[in-house]
């Protein structure tokens, strides 16, 4: 495949040619892609690579979020979700029974995944987390428990005085199936110092993911973009993810997370939001730069449905899931996005974008479906 005539004069033609030939992009290539205004050419190349790897397939899954508590000992400036104390307005913390009650209607519903994250709770014992996982595993056998960001895992190690491997092994024994990609934010120290200085640093984030991979626990990864980070800091972030993946191969999916500015300290600085083009560029450059991470996710809850459809033509091959009851984005200004989608609507969204919806499990195994009934 060569560059079409319409993009022949693109200032990033050489970079795009490398990417579609399967050659690895350098740090400088990545910075040039973020800097260019030639976004159509970048999107075209990302779509080529997406189609080389996944054809027209767009994965989705039936999942459900469990945000068990928003009480958090940290106060990250981008976060609208946390409350310092359980007595603060808008705070909640569920017992294990309340967690079970919250998801009881999903028993035997074909659900593939619970996505479980909370704040870094200052008081709950480690046994709360193992009990929650084993209770969910027993009540919902077959549903993968994708639980706890690297920040929560790092805190469990601090709380118990155990190693990351010990903590992760105990969680795995209790039912942990994989880790979500959160807590990565932007790895550069300058950014972390300004937006989330108290929590685990980037080296620790990587130690958690590496320890998980060594135990056979796959993970996802993210980048929270569109606030104070520079293009160089974005590429540095992607390069560190690519380096880990070269080492372990344990990451399934990259999810670029668009910053939402409502109800948080960073948003109150009137930073605004990333532009529509920046949103698409982050998807496309994720696809082009992360040549060793198989899946790029257009997380519709964060993007909105229409931008998520566009992202499916800009390198993304996954749209996440039915996602009932998600709080992190709803509290940060994504209220215009619905809180859940039926499987049928999710499939329509993918079809409207000209893609083929394919149901998957948490590990990207395809779920065989009954053929659609033929109208007679």
Least separation in angstroms between residue 182's CB and ligand V47 is: 3
Q: Are 357 and 344 in contact (CB under 8 A)?
A: no
Nearer to ligand V47, 170 or 185 (CB): 185
Tokens of 342: 């039926």
- Please report which residue ranges of 140-188 form alpha helices under DSSP H: 150-160, 164-174
Nearer to ligand V47, 320 or 361 (CB): 320
Q: Among all residues, whose Cβ is closest to ligand V47?
A: 182
Between CA 164 and CA 225 the distance in angstroms is 28
Least separation in angstroms between residue 328's CB and ligand V47 is: 5
User: How big is the CA angle at 353 (ends 349 and 357), to the nearest 5 degrees?
Assistant: 60
Nearer to ligand V47, 252 or 288 (CB): 252
Q: Are 155 and 124 in contact (CB under 8 A)?
A: no
Least separation in angstroms between residue 329's CB and ligand V47 is: 6
Between CA 32 and CA 232 the distance in angstroms is 10
Least separation in angstroms between residue 216's CB and ligand V47 is: 17
SS3 (DSSP) at 194? helix
Between CA 346 and CA 20 the distance in angstroms is 30
Least separation in angstroms between residue 112's CB and ligand V47 is: 12
Residue 160 CA, distance from chain mean position:
27
Q: Write phi, then psi, for 93 (nearest 5 degrees).
A: -150, 125
Nearer to ligand V47, 75 or 166 (CB): 75
Least separation in angstroms between residue 343's CB and ligand V47 is: 18
Using CB under 6 A as the criterion, which residues of the chain lie in contact with ligand V47 when the complex forms?
78-80, 149, 180-183, 185, 220, 222, 224, 255, 257, 259-260, 264, 299, 320, 328, 332
Between CA 214 and CA 202 the distance in angstroms is 18
Nearer to ligand V47, 188 or 255 (CB): 255
Least separation in angstroms between residue 279's CB and ligand V47 is: 12
Least separation in angstroms between residue 364's CB and ligand V47 is: 11
Nearer to ligand V47, 261 or 357 (CB): 261
Between CA 44 and CA 3 the distance in angstroms is 9
SS3 content of the chain, % helix, strand, coil (to 5): 45, 15, 45
Nearer to ligand V47, 136 or 257 (CB): 257
b/e per residue 134-157 (b: at least 16 CB within 10 A): bbbbeebeebbbbbbbbbbbbbbb
Between CA 357 and CA 61 the distance in angstroms is 10
Q: Which of 58, 136, 59 is nearest to 94 (CA)?
A: 136
Nearer to ligand V47, 217 or 255 (CB): 255
């Amino acid at each position: 495949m060569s560059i079409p005539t319409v993009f022949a004069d693109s200032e990033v033609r050489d970079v795009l040619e490398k990417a579609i030939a399967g050659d690895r992009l350098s740090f400088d290539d990545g910075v040039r892609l973020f800097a260019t205004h030639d976004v159509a050419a970048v999107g075209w190349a990302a779509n080529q690579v997406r189609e080389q790897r996944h054809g027209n397939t767009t994965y989705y899954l039936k999942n459900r979020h469990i945000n068990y508590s928003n009480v958090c000992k940290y106060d990250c400036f981008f976060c609208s979700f946390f409350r310092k104390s359980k007595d603060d307005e808008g705070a909640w913390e569920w017992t294990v029974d309340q967690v079970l009650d919250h998801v009881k209607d999903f028993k035997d519903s074909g659900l593939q995944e619970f996505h479980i994250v909370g704040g870094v709770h200052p008081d709950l014992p480690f046994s709360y987390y193992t009990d929650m996982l084993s209770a969910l595993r027993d009540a919902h056998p077959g549903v993968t428990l994708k639980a706890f960001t690297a920040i929560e895992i790092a805190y469990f190690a601090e709380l118990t005085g155990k190693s990351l491997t010990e903590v992760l092994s105990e969680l795995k024994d209790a039912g942990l199936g994989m880790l979500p990609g959160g807590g990565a934010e932007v790895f550069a120290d300058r950014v972390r110092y300004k937006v989330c200085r108290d929590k685990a640093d980037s080296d620790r984030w990587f130690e958690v993911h590496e320890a998980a991979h060594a135990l056979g626990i796959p993970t996802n990864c993210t980048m929270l973009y569109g606030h104070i980070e520079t293009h160089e800091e974005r590429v540095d972030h992607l390069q560190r993810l690519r380096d880990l993946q070269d080492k372990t191969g344990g990451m399934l999916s990259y999810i670029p997370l668009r910053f939402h500015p409502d109800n948080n300290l960073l948003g109150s600085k009137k930073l605004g939001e990333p532009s529509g083009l920046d949103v698409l560029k982050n998807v496309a450059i994720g696809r082009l730069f992360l040549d060793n991470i198989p899946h790029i996710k257009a997380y519709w809850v964060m993007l909105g449905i229409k931008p998520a459809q566009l992202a499916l033509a800009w390198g993304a091959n996954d749209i996440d899931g039915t996602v009932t009851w998600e709080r992190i984005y709803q509290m940060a200004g994504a209220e215009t996005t619905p809180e859940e989608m039926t499987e049928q609507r999710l499939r329509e969204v993918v079809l409207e974008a000209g893609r083929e919806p394919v149901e998957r499990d948490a590990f990207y195994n395809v779920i065989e479906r009954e053929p659609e009934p033929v109208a007679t």
